[in-house]
Every structure is written in structure tokens, then in C-alpha cells.
Amino acid sequence: MTFGELNDRLLVSRIHREYSQKAFLMVEEFAFDNADERRKVRQNGTGWIEVIAGSMFSGKSEELIRRLNRARIARQRVQVFKPGIDERYSIEEIASHSGQKHMSIPVATTAEMMKQVKDDTEVIGIDEAQFFDMAIIDAANELAESGKRVIIAGLDQDFTGKPFEPMPQLLSIAEFITKTHAICVKCGSTANYSQRTVESEELVEVGAADKYEARCRRCFIPHADAPTLP
Ligand code: ADP
Ligand code: ZN
């Protein structure tokens, strides 16, 4: 038995002892394996907030799409939103760099998103959350309090390595946080930064491999740099 499994068993038996009358469930801190699905059971009628944060190419969209697909397989009602600003692949879909897709509704503002949320929706997905306005923070709390599972993916740092609002605030209010990493295209180590590879001082310069690449702490520079790969 691995250490993780042992921990799991101890925890589960403790929870059974303490809450033997109720269906339990909050095992997050102790169970690392496949915790995602087991930990998230609604209690007291509230939902919760999950944030997936990381650099470009780190697999945020992939992870978001994976969770949304599983929710759909479980026959939960899912709605997905993305900011109208990111038209990188398709207006009606969110897409990962590796090609997975999921239907989504483009919205210009948080208020517009909230108008479209249906009462009976159980799972709300939000991609590219760094492009939303600050009202997304209260909105995410409101949705979670009304019983919805809110899954938010976004870039946590801009091209200069600064925290990309409103992601820091969303990370603060989330019950669950997943940090994803890419591979540094220069040296192969863990990449935590999105290196801009075209000259522009704009904070928002929408693009993918044509304008950015993943870099580690050592290889990243907080302004435009020539691309590593031709
Ligand atoms: P994000 O939403 O974080 O930008 P995506 O989910 O869209 O990430 O894309 C992740 C995919 O990007 C990976 O599975 C891989 O196929 C591809 N990819 C391209 N460049 C890199 C890189 N430098 N490191 C890791 N994955 C990369
Ligand atoms: Zn590197």
C-alpha cells in the first residue's frame, strides 16, 4: 500500500467515525490520487470554485475540457463561457493547443455572462478568465453559493511576469486550485512563464505559438524576445 493509499484509508475511516450518519465528503488535503472526482460532492446545498492556473501551453484548457466532459458524462448540466476577446480558434468553442474542443458561449462582460446562466445549470466552465473584468470575483462566489460547481481556467501571469488580474483574486476565493506547467522550449525544464516573441507593449496581445512560447524562470525575460523555434 502506498503512503497515499494509507493516508486515504485512515482519513476515510476517521470521517466515517465522525460523520457516520451523513454522506461525507471533503478529503482534499489527504488524497492526491484521483482526488478530483471523489472530493467534489455537494454538501449543504452550496457549490464551490475550482481554479486551473498556469502559463500558456501548460494544459489549462485541456484540463478544463477534461473536467467538463466528465461532468457531461455524469449527465450534469454544463454551461461554458469565454471572453469574446479571444477569437484564437473559434467563437463558439474553447479549444486547447492540442486540438480538444468544447462548446462555449462568448461574452463581453461578466454581467453578460450572468444574464445567460440558467438556474438549473450545475457546472459552469470559464476559460481565459484573465480577460474578464473584476466583477467575475463576486459572480464566481454568487454562482458557487447558489449550488453550482464553478471551474475557472486562466493565465496567472502576463507577458512581463506580473500577476494577471483577476486571477490572483480568483485564486484567493477558490476552494480548489490546480497549477499547470508547460515545458521550457529553450532548456526543457518546468515552464511557468509565457514568453512574448513579437514586439508589442500591449498587455493583451491575443495569439498562440505565433506570439508566445513557454519558458522557465531562467530562460524567461519580461519583454519580447526572439522565438526559440523557427
Ligand atoms: P493552455 O490552455 O494552458 O494554453 P492548452 O491546454 O491549450 O494549454 O495546450 C496544452 C498543449 O499544448 C499540450 O498538451 C501540448 O500538446 C501543447 N504544447 C505546445 N507547446 C508546449 C510546451 N512548450 N509545453 C507543453 N505543452 C506544449
Ligand atoms: Zn529554460
Q: What is the pLDDT of residues 12-62, one digit of tens each?
A: 555 445 544 443 333 333 333 445 555 566 667 889 999 999 999 999 999
Is 194 inside any structural domain? no
Is 138 inside any structural domain? yes
Considering the domain architecture, whether residues 27 and 52 belong to the same structural domain is answered as no
d(CA 214, CA 190): 9
Ligand 1 pocket list (CB less than 6 A): 54, 56-62, 96-98, 180, 182-183, 185, 214
- Largest Cα span, the chain: 62
Q: Which of 50, 62, 63, 128 is catalytic?
A: 128
Is 156 inside any structural domain? yes
Assess contact for 222 and 160: CB atoms under 8 A. yes
Considering the domain architecture, whether residues 75 and 24 belong to the same structural domain is answered as no
Considering the domain architecture, whether residues 112 and 65 belong to the same structural domain is answered as yes
Considering the domain architecture, whether residues 34 and 103 belong to the same structural domain is answered as no
| Burial of residue 111, with CB atoms counted within 10 A of its CB: 0-12 exposed, 13-18 middle, 19 or more buried | exposed
Predicted pLDDT of residue 33? 42
Considering its fold, how many domains does the chain have in total? Answer: 2
Considering the domain architecture, whether residues 13 and 91 belong to the same structural domain is answered as no
Considering the domain architecture, whether residues 82 and 161 belong to the same structural domain is answered as yes
d(CA 129, CA 118): 20
Grid cell locating 170: 480568483
Does the annotation mark 62 as catalytic? no
Q: Last residue of a domain, which of 139, 159, 181? A: 181
Considering the domain architecture, whether residues 55 and 158 belong to the same structural domain is answered as yes
| Burial of residue 213, with CB atoms counted within 10 A of its CB: 0-12 exposed, 13-18 middle, 19 or more buried | buried
Phi then psi dihedrals of residue 142, to 5 deg: -60, -45
Residue reference for cell 529553450: 186
Q: 52: domain CATH number?
A: 3.40.50.300
Considering the domain architecture, whether residues 79 and 24 belong to the same structural domain is answered as no
Q: How far is the CA of 214 from the centre of ligand 2 (A)?
A: 9
d(CA 24, CA 31): 14
Residue 65, CB half-sphere, CA atoms under 13 Å: how many? 16
Q: In this predicted structure, which of 53-67, 121-135, 170-184, 203-217 has the lowest mean pLDDT?
A: 203-217
Q: Which pTM was predicted?
A: 0.82
d(CA 158, CA 149): 27
Considering the domain architecture, whether residues 100 and 24 belong to the same structural domain is answered as no
Query: 30 is in which domain, residue-wise?
Result: 1-41
Give 134-154 pLDDT, tens digit per residue. Answer: 999 999 999 999 999 999 999
